[in-house]
Amino acid sequence: MGKDEQILESKILRPGPVTGLSLQVSPTKRAITIPIDEIRGVAKLIKPGDRIDIVAALDVGKGRNRKKEVKTIMQDVVILATGLRVSNELPRLYTEAGKSGYITNLRADVSFTNVTIETSPKQAQNLVYILATAPGSLFITLRHPSDHARKVLGSTDVYKVLGKVAPSMMRNQTRKPARTRGR
């Protein structure tokens, strides 16, 4: 804009791909992007500003003791962006094709394959570990906007899903107590 030029809405930049994401990240937090699809990402019915939990399905143990465990690893996480969509009210993205520009409606955009979330540095490090070792093991669950409760949840395995006792627990329960001498 030039000096004494009238301020028009078309001259105002809104938060989005052009302005960047860094100002959306809270101090002491980090932004990290995780891949999603329709199954792992709530059918892509999420948008910036939504709050989610992140659940991981990981292999634990070695050899015969190896099993799959599922654990909610993060709760009440803010989605900063879905693909290039940063603001939840961003109606359009100005894209230059050669010298002319065109408007793309982002309200109905479900072509994104990742979401960017806000985490602590330690949570970001844990996510990088999971993404490096088991990238398809992360799942997103969507929360109600006013639900900020965090609950301690134990991990889940096949025995807990079926309501059965794990064989290793059964061996411990069936052992006879040691006899005491001299009484």
Is the Cβ–Cβ distance between 47 and 103 less than 8 Å? no
- pLDDT of 135 reads 84
Among 136, 21, 146, which residue's Cα sits nearest to residue 68?
Answer: 136
Q: 28 by DSSP, 3-state: which?
A: coil
CA 2 to chain centre: 43
Percent of the chain past pLDDT 90, that is, above it, reads: 46
pTM of the shown model = 0.71
Mean pLDDT of the chain: 81
Task: Give the pLDDT mean for 50-79.
Answer: 94
The amino acid sitting at 50 is D
- pLDDT of 8 reads 75
Residue-wise pLDDT for 107-164, tens only, equals 556 789 999 999 999 999 999 999 999 989 999 999 999 999 999 999 998 889 999 9
- pLDDT of 119 reads 96
Residue-wise pLDDT for 26-50, tens only, equals 889 999 999 999 999 999 999 999 9
For the chain, where are the E strands, in sequence order?
Answer: 30-35, 51-60, 67-82, 92-97, 100-105, 114-119, 138-142
pLDDT over 80 (residue 168):
no
- pLDDT of 150 reads 94
User: Bridge partners of 68?
Assistant: 59
**How would residue 93 be classed by pLDDT, with cut points 50, 70 and 90?**
very low
- pLDDT of 91 reads 39
